[in-house]
Every structure is written in C-alpha cells, then in structure tokens.
Chain A
Amino acid sequence: MIATHRALDHAFRIDGDDWGIGFLEAIFAGFEVTEPVEAREVYRLEVVSSGARATVGTGKPLDQSPGDAASHLVTSINREAMLSMRTSSVVHAGVVALGDVCVVIPAVSGSGKSTLTAALVAEGFSYLSDELAPISDAGQVVAYPKPIVVRNDSKSVLDDLAHADVGGDRFEPWFLDAGRLAGGRSSIGESRQVTHVVVPSFEERAEIDVAPLTPGQVAVALMVNCFNVARRGRPSLESLARIAEQCSGVAVVHGDARAAAREIRRIVES
C-alpha cells in the first residue's frame, strides 16, 4: 500500500503506474506520514501513448509530455501545501542554513533562485526549500526540502551536481536531492529563525555586486513574493515587517551562481 504523504500541512496520496509512482515517491521521499491521517487529495501520474497523464483527484486528466505532466502535479501539490499554511506567511523563496544562520532568498520565478539555492547547498549550506518558505509570525521558517528543480539553462553551471538528480531520464529538468550534496538537507518540518534575506538578480556576465538593503527594502522583497498576503491580510504584512527589521538584508547581482554562493557564504560568516 502506498503511504500517505504530507507537504507542509497538505496530506495526499500518490497513484499511477510504476513509473509515475516511482517519480512522485522520489520527489516526496521522506514526506511519508507515519501516523493515521486522512489524505485530502490523490495525485496520479502514468504513461500513456501520447506521453504522460496527470490527474488531480477527480479532475480532468491532462495528457502532456512526461516532464510537463510531472511538473503539473508537483506544482499542484505545492499550491495546496502553500494553502495549507493558515498561520504563516508563505514566501516564494529558497531557504538555506549554515550553523545559526538561516538565509531566505525571495525572488520571482525564472530569476535563478533555485540555481543559486543549489549552488549554496553545494557550498555547504543545509537545504530547507527552493520554492516555498512558510514563515511564522515569530520569524521561524519551516523546512520543505523537496528536490531542487534545476532547469536546462542552469545545468552547465551546476554540472558537477548531476549525480544528485532523482528525476530520471524522462525529464529535462534535474530534481536534485540535496541530501546528496555537500550541505545536505534539513529535516522535513524543521524550523529555523530567519537571520538573513538575500535578494538575487542574475545578469548575464555580470560581476558580483553586493549592496546592503534597508529593512524597508527587505520587507518589500518579502511582501511582493508572499503568496498569501491577500488571504492573511495585515497580520502577514506586520509579521514580514518585523522579520525585515530583525534580519540582515543584501541584494546580490551576479552572473555566476557558484561565485555568488561563495560570496554569500563569506558575507554570512563575516
């Protein structure tokens, strides 16, 4: 029997053929629930003649390429995971830790956030998340360490990390298991106090440029990348403002995620 899994507070089951179940089990390895809990949704992935089929619950099946079908399900699970966090502000961000330092990297999709997160884990930071950062009103961020998704255009800078890919050959992106990288992965649900916020910006061939951020700038970066401000309203805004006041913030412009990761490590250790 396939175990129930839990992404943050979203309990779900996975289903499908051997390939589909194998992929989803690899992506959500360690997210199995041991205690009895009712799954709120079933995610099904299977091979069909035209590619792969993704089905969420009793919804309409979507036939796509294997990569798109799998991404559709992972995105659906992430969305429900985000919605399950009713008392936290869920920020679109990478999160890594080093000793007592916990770095949140808020950024929009396509900004190189996951690439930088992977580079930081290769640089020795422990991995907490590459996408969702649920931050409590007390400033504690909860680990959601599913594999780091590395797109094709970032593979060249991370080619020495290919051994950590658990997605398999059917997929263009890598799904890196941070447990196989230098810094390792934090325990699921582990919480850390946010100490640093790094706002990254990738520019082709740019030299590294680090600029300190004011608390207000940090707050803006957290707020505009927060998924659930609209639902939580003022408590979320106030919470993110207090976190911004209490941590250090820098903007990092770079053209090389590996060099940026080394620089960020130097900054947080100084």
Chain B
Amino acid sequence: MSESRETLPALHPDVELVLVGDEAVVWDSRTSTAHLLDPLAAALVIHFDGVSPLDEFIDDVSVTWERPVADVTAVVRSLVDRMNAANALSSGT
C-alpha cells in the first residue's frame, strides 16, 4: 500500500484571505482578528488549496524563485506553522 502524499494545507472556512498590494491579510471571522502576511508569505498562501501535493509545490517554487529546495521547504513549513498557530488552517493540515 502506498503512503499518501502530503498536500498543501487549506484555509479554515471561517478565514478570508484578502490581497492588499503584494501583501495579504488573513481575516478570522470567528475572532474578528487580522494577520498580516508579507509579500513572500502572501505569494505562497494563495496556493493553499488543500489538494495540491506539497512536494510538487515546493519544487515549483524552488524553480520559480531560483532557490534551493531546502530553503523553500523551510519557508513553507514556517508559514504553515504560523498559520496553524493562528488557527487559520483547516483541521488536519
């Protein structure tokens, strides 16, 4: 039996992502709180669809940004950790 591939997380249904220039605001309607994402984080989080394979996404970003996969992986993991800490992701991601 093959192991299922890790996917990108998805935003919580009660969370809205609003782009502001090259930044983004994550608005949590449950708590009426806002989290500001810098341009780097904003460029990543718009792809958080809950279905795309994480490794493919990281590879694509690595090519686009011309940065090592390890660096991109660290950035993405850090962003996911931040979003999880803010309860901004769907459960299980």
Please give the residue numbers on chain A whose beta carbons come within 8 Å of chain B beta carbons, in ascending order. Answer: 214-220, 223-224, 229-230, 233-234, 237-238, 241, 244-245
Contacts and interface: CB of A to CB of B under 8 A. Distances in A.
A229 B33 CA distance: 11
Contact of B16 (A216, A217, A234, A245): A234
A60 B21 CA distance: 49
A224 B21 contact: no
User: How big is chain B's contact interface, by range?
Assistant: 10 to 19
Main secondary structure of the interface of A (DSSP, over half): helix
B27 A229 contact: yes
Contacts of A230: 29, 32
Contacts of A218: 20
Nearest to A220: B34
A237 B21 contact: no
Contact of A241 (B20, B29, B38): B20
* A-B pairs, 4 with minimum CB distance: A216-B23, A219-B20, A215-B21, A220-B34
B45 interface: no
A244 B20 contact: yes
Contacts of A245: 20-21
A220 B36 contact: yes
A224 B34 contact: yes
A216 B27 contact: no
Given A230-B29, A237-B16, A241-B18, 10 more contacts: A216-B20, A216-B23, A216-B24, A216-B38, A217-B36, A219-B34, A229-B29, A234-B16, A238-B18, A241-B20
B16 A224 contact: no
B23 A214 contact: yes
B33 A224 contact: yes
